[in-house]
Structure 1
Amino acid sequence: MTIALYVLACLVGAILLALYFRSIVVVALLNSKSNDFVERNARRSAVAIIQRFIGRSIGYTEIQRRQAWIMPLFVLLAVVTWFLLVQIAFTGILWGLRIEPDFWRALSASGSALSTLGYLTPSTLVGEYLAVFQAAIGLAVVMLLFTFVPGYQAAIQTRERRVGWFYARTEDEASSERYLGWLLEKKDNGGIAEGWEDWENWFRGIRETHTLSPILSYVPSIYPGTSWIATSLSVLDTANALTACLGRQAPAEARLCRREGATTMRLIAGALGVGAPPRPHGRSADTNRFDRLYDALVAAGLPVIHDRAECRRSYLAMRVEYAPFIQQVAVATLTPTSVLDVTGPFPGAASASNEAISSAI
């Protein structure tokens, strides 16, 4: 019975060590989406802890300030989990191989090697080799921490650079009407075909970063009162209006941007694991927004399709391809899709619901 227990301890230690190596490779090194239990649990725990301290009646600026702590807490929880996995794994190996006959002494020896303090090194040759190997793992965790955290920061800065550009042209309000108006102000209405490739690249960029590292979706915007989610919705609504109202005369770049953006928001929502999107339903706000966009295109003298009702149906049908997924991301991250008042209360902060956010969409 005792021998079987020792063998079991060694097996459990080997399994935990294998889980650690898989997790660290998936999170820090693997350049493709793969499910990892450490990343997933650390992310969900960090989000749950921080959002628990977000009240119902606080403003969006305060929500941003508090949610900025999600990323540091996530990194802390992930690193602690990795260290515990390694420490427990080597504890089982040291105790199971009888290098340290006492379990608690094996636990202390494992912590000594992992922390590189070296206050308790096993006296056997095998134990010394294991201590060196474990110390190398501890150093590797620290080095990887200082490697992928700057990568997170760079991804956020790249995302927010474009968000700041957008808000500067819409008078600090995420609005498809204002963005379309800015495009139409350019000489001879040539502006409606400009900039869509940049937005297409932006959507592809956040697809790469925010699906590989879903925690990035919770990191708030750098500029106070702005929202990358609101920016996404406004840009896609503008591209959608051009596609629906101009038909074949719409810029090909705008159609591609709308398609790539819709795919990006669907994949980001899937990476967050927020369940199925809400069922689409007609809303007067969508119709009113479309009418304003349609009227702006008509006033600019562009070759719009004359059947307004058909254009509206096309606009609403294509909007279903991205709006529900943006709504999911907005609910999960407590980020409104329209930031009009950054000091007043944001409804549903403590218990975000689809209804609370859908009113902004």
Structure 2
Amino acid sequence: MGRHPPSGAQADLKGVSAMQVAVSVLVGLAGGACALLTLASAAKTVVVPRAVPVLITRCVFGAMRLLFTAALWRSRDYRTQDRVMALFAPFGLLMLPLVWLVLVVVGYTAIFWAVGMRPVRDAFLESTSSLLTLGFRPPADTFTAVLALSEGILGLGLLALLVSYLPSIYASYSRRELMVTSLDTQAGSPPSAAELLERLERIDGIGQLDTFWQDWSRWFADIAETHTSTPVLVQFRSPEHDRSWVTAAGAVLDTAALVTSTLDTPRQPSAELCIRSGYLALHRIGAYFGMPEVPDPAPGTPISVTRTEYDAVCGRLERAGAKLVSDREQAWRDFAGWRVNYDTVLLRFAALTMAPPAPWSSDRAMPLRRRSVTRRRGRPVTGS
């Protein structure tokens, strides 16, 4: 006896069943991908010791930056801006694990739904119970129990990563700010190269700066490592409103450039190495933020410091008793040749961090524009 072909209703039923299976598989795969991408994001942000662009981390801090900027759009008082922006990096850091946990809940909710837990509300409650290890939703079977266990382990792992992440951040922050604070007594607040050199001239200290340059070379090397492996440190502000790691870096680099190019003193190789250490550090950190750079700038490339400003500082130093080189034109070209290596990236960091006004840095901050970044080999145009 021959078989009868399936009726139209039976065919439709099989089609609907196949469609449901396909949808469940796709939803489950999407949920698994969401959980795995979240885990990868946390690992790259916290564990990987290098500046790895992470989409979730960038989105969180980008959204927080927009909120904080919107809150300040009518404010013109810098102290108010500084007080508000001091919360930006800590709040962003606290929001990051919250976003990770939410994404894990969403991912596992999709997985639980895909394996047959209906409706979505039950899948969501199962996911949250597993993630927070509250246990108010006992697993229905062995496979669901394995999924719940994996989510609980993942949730605890993310929290453990955060707990281990914070002490390292604040240890790096403390090392950075110790040097920034020490510069306050030497170069004023906000710091400036002219004031630092004036004070050194009064105490006959310009020729005894080797230790100073070596300390700041190590500081630049330290921030090059910590601020690339943990880029959020860039946005952590100093405890005082008139201090900033950016303006401190600018003052030290300008001081070294003036000593190397303009002051009539024996050559100080450690000052030249300090400049190199400084601009390499700034460019390495800036590469993470997509800051454009010009490889090997040519002599004569314009800088943000004008000749008039340079001559004014020279006059100030002469009045303080400093001996300057006789060929002022060559001195200006040498100074510009050193400054051009870090000029643009310094001003972009001043804008990115909303640094307090300081001579030759944040007083002429340059807006951050993203475009393709070319690695530079980083060497001074003149003076070496």
TM-score, normalised on structure 1?
Answer: 0.85
- Cα distance change on mapping 1:294 and 1:254 into 2, 3 Å: farther
1:87 aligns with 2:108: no
- Cα distance change on mapping 1:106 and 1:57 into 2, 3 Å: closer
Separation in 2, partners of 1:102, 1:188: 76
1:289 aligns with 2:306: no
Query: Which residue number corresponds to residue 151 of structure 1?
Result: 168
Separation in 1, partners of 2:311, 2:44: 43
Letter in 2 for 1:52: A
Counterparts of residues 267-278 of structure 1 (less than 5 Å)? 267-274=284-291
Larger radius of gyration: 2
From 47, 64, 67, give the equivalent of 1:29: 47
1:317 aligns with 2:334: no
Contact 1:245 1:294 in 2 (8 A): no
- Cα distance change on mapping 1:337 and 1:316 into 2, 3 Å: farther
- Deviation of 1:77 after TM superposition, in Å, equals 2.5
1:15 aligns with 2:33: yes
User: Which stretches of structure 1, 4 residues or longer, exceed 6 Å deviation after superposition?
Assistant: none
Contact 2:234 2:353 in 1 (8 A): yes
1:127 aligns with 2:127: no
Counterparts of residues 181-200 of structure 1 (less than 5 Å)? 181-187=198-204, 189-200=206-217
From 263, 273, 276, give the equivalent of 1:259: 276
Separation in 2, partners of 1:46, 1:124: 41
Separation in 1, partners of 2:199, 2:158: 48
- Cα distance change on mapping 1:25 and 1:110 into 2, 3 Å: same
Separation in 1, partners of 2:352, 2:267: 34
After superposition, the C-alpha distances for 1:84-122 in whole angstroms (9 at most, x for unaligned) are 221122122222222x14333112211111122211132
Contact 2:132 2:152 in 1 (8 A): yes
Separation in 1, partners of 2:311, 2:34: 55
Letter in 1 for 2:328: R
Contact 1:206 1:264 in 2 (8 A): yes
Contact 2:101 2:155 in 1 (8 A): yes
- Deviation of 1:53 after TM superposition, in Å, equals 1.3
Separation in 2, partners of 1:312, 1:154: 40
Which structure 1 residue ranges, 5 or more long, are not aligned?
Answer: 341-345, 356-361
1:333 aligns with 2:363: no
From 30, 38, 45, give the equivalent of 2:56: 38
Counterparts of residues 122-271 of structure 1 (less than 5 Å)? 122-187=139-204, 189-245=206-262, 249-271=266-288
Query: Which residue number corresponds to residue 72 of structure 2?
Result: 54
Contact 2:190 2:247 in 1 (8 A): no
- Cα distance change on mapping 1:11 and 1:72 into 2, 3 Å: same
Contact 2:304 2:343 in 1 (8 A): no
Separation in 2, partners of 1:353, 1:241: 22
TM-score, normalised on structure 2?
Answer: 0.80
Contact 1:183 1:191 in 2 (8 A): no
Higher helix share: 1
Three-state SS of the structure 1 residue aligned to 2:260 is helix
Separation in 2, partners of 1:325, 1:282: 11
- Deviation of 1:231 after TM superposition, in Å, equals 0.9
Contact 1:226 1:339 in 2 (8 A): no
Query: Which residue number corresponds to residue 81 of structure 2?
Result: 63
- Deviation of 1:336 after TM superposition, in Å, equals 3.5
Three-state SS of the structure 2 residue aligned to 1:52 is helix
Q: CA RMSD in A?
A: 2.9
Separation in 2, partners of 1:63, 1:287: 31
- Deviation of 1:57 after TM superposition, in Å, equals 4.6
The count of residues paired between Structure 1 and Structure 2 equals: 344
Letter in 2 for 1:91: T
Query: Which residue number corresponds to residue 378 of structure 2?
Result: none
Letter in 1 for 2:155: G
Letter in 2 for 1:59: D
- Cα distance change on mapping 1:265 and 1:114 into 2, 3 Å: same
